[in-house]
Structure 1
Amino acid sequence: MVVVLGGASPAAAADAVSYDFESPSQKLPFTAINGFGRVLVGPAPGGKPGLAARVNIPNDGRSFKSELVIKGLDAGSHRFGFANYLPGNWQERDLDTIVAQWFSSQGDGEGIKPVVALSVHGGNWQLKVHWMNGGEIQESVIPLGGARPGHWNQWAFDITWSTAGTPGSIAVTRDGITAGSHQGPNNYHRGEPPHFRIGAYRPNWRPEKGPEKRAGATEAILYIDDITINSTAPGSRENPRPTTPDTTAPSGHPTPSPSPTSTGSPSPSSSTQAGATPTGNPSKPADDAISGATGQKASTDNTPLASTGSTGVITTTVAGVTALAAGAYLLRRRNAARSARRRP
């Protein structure tokens, strides 16, 4: 079974969307195709069960892009997950084939580089991050390890978009292993929030680049599957817990770092290990002198004391006893003086 994908407008994304290409009735994303490329649904290769989307760009002198487009995302925090597969006969080229990109449409319609792009370059994966500094586009290239043709890659991108006053972050995992990260500006801070595109795009195959970049190149073919997008902002359906004082960002407006940090050294992804000892001291008993739901310690007559510490209770008690003793002493002296005046 082969199904051609297409649509009249980009699909609008909600807090949680997914595309697994298994159901013929599922409304699929809009396709952005330049030239005679195609995005078709058919049997997944490489021993993967079910269906997947096959993407191709023919080397015909004019085709350079075949992508699925998902719009409607806000400029917050999201996790993007997807699987992709390079065939075993994938041709290594010293040029970028972008397989996923986050693109910020500009208000003036200006066509510029995507803010974030995952590509295969030669025999390796890499991530490019772009931002503006003084009106000029800056770029950071993050290596993500060797490409493995004939292997399904499981990707996850945790992205928080930067703003003009706050830095952003990107964390990348591949097959459950941390592959790279970026901290700092990751956006142009103008126009629409970045939207998501996935498929195949060869910018050096644009017709205006000339035929030299296409010489000796074969048709670009790859497969994509299991696309998921979830909001990871506090209070979202994916992360429903509201922000607590422990996770609230500091007040004020932090300034983005002028030198963003990017890492690409593969290392095991961090996760909570089973059996790990939790932080804090949950076995510590609660104070016995808590009164009702107020959280204040109470005196013996149930009157809340000014101090909630044990020292405050002792101080208040001693002060009361001292005052009573002094009053009794003064009363005895006054009575003795009156008795002396009454004597003949």
Structure 2
Amino acid sequence: MHTAPLPSLARLLTTCTATLIVVALGAASPAAAADAVSYDFESPSQKLPFMAINGFGRVLVGPAPGGRSGQAARVNLPNDGRSFKSELVIKGLDAGSHRFGFGNYLPGDWQERDLDTIVAQWFSTQGDGEGIKPVVALSVHGGNWQLKVHWMSGGEIQESVIPLGAARPGHWNRWTFDITWSSAGTPGSITVTRDGVTVGSHQGANNYHRGEPPHFRIGAYRPNWRPEKGPEKRVGAAEAVLYIDDISITSTAPGSRANPSPTAPTAPGTAAPSGAPTPSSSPTPTGSASPSASTQAGAAPTGSTSTSTDGAAAGATGQNANADGIPLPSTGVTGVIATSVVSVAALAAGAYLLRRRHTARSSRRRSRP
């Protein structure tokens, strides 16, 4: 009878230990949150969001302009008499609180016109299919950025226009929108930062309170280029070309990935927590001019990412923290692996001794006359 070669104890220990380490690491790693979405356009295998294109517009990934390294999405909207929209569409968000971040770039030869070019919008699809204005829209109008917020009052659409400063073609902008959607009985809030500086805000109603929750669209949309508006709006207009990069969407509702600790209720007569919407009888927009040179000097560099401090408190107590800033058990991943290795070593040694005993018995049987 042929007996398989006896594996060495070292090989058996190595194999078992490596397998259990992989399992332990997999169990210790936090799962990807369903309330977080990001697109950096760097990986050819990353599936892009749905594209909403009317006419012959395009959204293509290629080298980023303006001295930026890596890839970016190039949005093209030709003036061909029928094209008016080239956008990426991200749906599936709830009507809660989210942080939307993205970078965009207008080329140096961007043409200024007294018509809106919407570069990001939050759109609420209505149950009756009625095509109405986006609830929130970031656009270039002339040589400036502006934000338009819409809501319903008395059956009529209301609008607030918030100036956000000069557009500055040839410059990468890093935008952050912290949005809490209003409900029929609760005001919402919007805070806008550009290159790390707060440039505008809005308190109060910020959607229509009917139909689907607002979803996110980013790219280029010229409402006045819709064919039904007539050709006169296109006369003398160049095609719209711009770039977008580093899209990120994260829920900021209590208990979510970006805000893991629920906010304690505010006692009567005390101030509301920072960032909470302040109830008001009507929406209150605020805006500011383009950031001054001295203000921008202290802002984060364009395209850079800030370092999270969520784990600072955990670090002060000697505990490790995961990517969400939630303290890990005192044993941590290292303790799990160490305990597992000791257990595997004992099991492997036992298996090795049993295998040797079995081999010795087989040899004695073969040696008998």
d(CA) in 1 for partners of 2:262 and 2:256?
A: 8
Trace 1:177-196 onto structure 2 (pairs within 5 A): 177-196=197-216
Counterparts of 1:325-336 in structure 2, within 5 Å, are none
Residues 11-39 of structure 1 show CA distances to partners (whole Å, capped at 9, x for unaligned) of xx931110000001111100000000000
Of 136, 142, 147, which aligns to 2:156?
136
CA contact (8 A) 1:14 1:73 kept: no
Q: Give the whole-Å Cα distance in 1 for the aligned partners of 2:162 and 2:135.
A: 13
Letter in 2 for 1:235: G
Candidates 52, 57, 62, aligned match of 2:77:
57
- Counterpart in 2 of 1:157? 177
TM-fit CA distance, 1:258 = 3.5
1:83 alignment counterpart: 103
2:262 & 2:114 partners in 1: Cα distance?
46
Q: 1:60-139 maps to which residues of 2 (within 5 A)?
A: 60-139=80-159
Post-superposition offset of 1:125: 0.1
1:171 aligned onto 2:191: yes
Aligned residue number for residue 287 of structure 2: 264
Which amino acid in structure 2 is aligned with residue 259 of structure 1? S
AA of the residue aligned to 1:31: M
The answer as to whether partners of 1:83 and 1:155 remain within 8 angstroms in 2 is: yes
How far apart, CA to CA, are the structure 2 residues paired with 1:213 and 1:263? 30
Residue 225 of structure 2 corresponds to: 205
Shift, 1:246, TM fit: 4.7
User: Which residue does the alignment assign to 1:309?
Assistant: none
Partner residue of 1:14?
Answer: 34
Deviation readout 1:257-284 (Å, 9 max, x if unpaired): 342110111576999xxxxxxxxxxxxx
- SS state of the match for residue 208, structure 1? helix
C-alpha deviations, 1:229-253, integer Å up to 9, x for none?
0000010011111222459999xxx
Which whole-Å deviations, capped at 9, do the CAs of 1:115-166 have from their partners, x for residues lacking one?
Answer: 0000000000000000000000000000000001000000000000000000
Give the whole-Å Cα distance in 2 for the aligned partners of 1:19 and 1:228.
7
What whole-Å deviation, never above 9, does each CA across 1:168-212 have from its counterpart, x for those lacking one? 000000000010000000010000000000000000000000010
Letter in 2 for 1:148: R
The structure with the largest alpha-carbon Rg is 1
Percentage of pairs with the same residue: 86
Return the TM-score normalized by structure 1.
0.71
Q: How does 1:32-51 map to 2 (within 5 A)?
A: 32-51=52-71
Corresponding letter in the other structure for 1:87: P
Amino acid at match of 2:110: W
**What RMSD in Å do the two structures reach over aligned CA positions?**
2.2
Residue 293 of structure 1 is matched in structure 2 by: none
Q: Which amino acid aligns with 1:214?
A: R
Q: Does 1:24 align with 2:47?
A: no
Counterpart CA distance in 2 for 1:146 and 1:137 is 27
- Pairs within 5 Å for 1:279-294: none
- Local SS of the residue matching 2:260: coil
CA distance in structure 1 between the partners assigned to 2:102 and 2:217 by the alignment: 12
Q: Contact 2:42/2:70 (CA < 8 Å) preserved in 1?
A: yes
How far apart are the structure 2 equivalents of 1:218 and 1:257? 42
Q: What is the letter of the counterpart of residue 264 of structure 1?
A: G
* Aligned AA (2:196): G
Native 8 Å contact 1:41 1:54 kept in 2: yes
Distance 1:101 1:162 in 2: 16
Question: 1:111, 1:234 → 2: CA distance?
Answer: 33
Do 1:14 and 1:72's aligned partners in 2 also have CA atoms closer than 8 Å?
no
Amino acid at match of 1:260: P
- One-letter amino acid matched to 1:55: V
Give, as a single letter, the amino acid of the residue that structure 2 aligns with 1:118. L
